[in-house]
Structure 1
Amino acid sequence: MDKSSRKRNKTTSATFSNPESPNSDIAPSEDPASAIIDVSAVEVPELTEQEQSDRLHLERKVERAFFEAGKALAELRDRRLYRSTHRTFEEYCKDRFSYTYRHVNYLIAGSVIVDNIKMGTNSSQNEQVEEMGTNSSQILPTSEVQVRPLAKLEPQQQYEVWQMAVEEAKGKVPTGRIVKDVVQRIMERTKVPNTYQIGEVCQILAKDNPELRGKSGCWCIVVAVHDFSCTVRLWDGELTVGVQHLKSFDYLPQECQQMQQVCDRITRLRSCENLEEVAKAVLRYLGELKRPYLTDVGEGLLGFLELASGG
């Protein structure tokens, strides 16, 4: 047998012998890179029953992570368990978890949506058990982003849309993009020209409308919904604008309520007689905020004006 045949038939380890050694399989005159190496496959042991159980347990923990975080944050907020160290829930979340206020609200709202999906799923499973004696497995969200598009739907709609998204994902957990696309298709099928809701916080888009000059970028709150327009409330009054001049901030219900409170406080101050120009400038600044809450500075300014006016 010649030397090349011997190299093809011999199984070697991944580490070559010294090519200069008399017992080497590769002669010094040959290129080691051209040698054929046969590496035995490493057999991967199957998971034991205990390992399979542990894996399932840990996977469920991962899936429930954002859900449990949202439930815990809601309880911390509702019971004001932060009050011994922080003045506001926002400050507490920022210091303790490095969470923005918006992220906290998304987590809390997401946990509520998951509860709604669970209720719908359990109801559907009970019907299946009664009719067929079977029980289908739950496909639940694993990320807050996946349920965010469902926030404006009714609880029963949230469950139904989630099931449609699961089907579109071929029985797997759908991405946020899939859920958003399903929600968008449903909205288009309803053929409702105006999808804004009363209490929704929007941004004014002046574009080429001279009546909206000076109000571009200002926040407003929808107080009435018409076929192709909305009556909105700004910091300095109300007006009716076409839907093409509005852009939703996609705030959560709680954030919309906070902006409504800010608007009410500004309106009360504007009704005060002999309001100084400096105070008007401050109210104008607060009326053009692009976030659903006041900073400490903003709250301090508004509180000072309320105190000065006796409000």
Structure 2
Amino acid sequence: MDNLQKCPQIVDILPTAEGQVRPMTKLEPQEQHEVWLRAVELAGGKVPTGRIVKDVVQKIMERTKVPNTYQIGEVCQILVKDNPELRGKGGCWGIVSAVNEFSCTLRMWDGEYTIGLQHLKSYNYLPAECEQMQVICDACGGLRLRINRVYSSGLEESVQKFLESLGKLNRASLTALEEKLLKVLESEIRD
């Protein structure tokens, strides 16, 4: 209550966009109230941006030590939510290769990425299914390298989107047509 007594006008400052509220949905109502007051304070007594709210929420989540329940070898999907750094990765799957306090490192088609827990969703596969996905991931290592080489060459956006869709496949080989298209793209970057 001291915050309200120090700055009674904070009560009148309400969110103006969904992006300011969305990060708080994981928290209890009392914590949401605390986050909003802190965010308004950080914004100099004005309506805070979604980024400010998100940063305050992250600090609370770190303080409350939400346990990381993911395990090495688990298959997860990436949820982009409101993280622009993950653009193009939404819906991609990866295999957990390291479990950190507030994140996991995922092995994906185009490399390894450390991703916050709020941006992961487990497929809840049985251990045998996780092993099968591991085999697929290992088998397509050479394929991943080929796709990544063309992807990082800087071709048009439409080509990048095609390569992203190939990277999201959960099978170890390409169809005959996909293979032909990839070969055409590989020849394009060699010329």
Q: Give TM-score, length-normalised by structure 2.
A: 0.47
Q: Which has the higher strand share?
A: 2
Q: Which has the larger radius of gyration?
A: 1
**TM-score normalized with structure 1 length:** 0.30
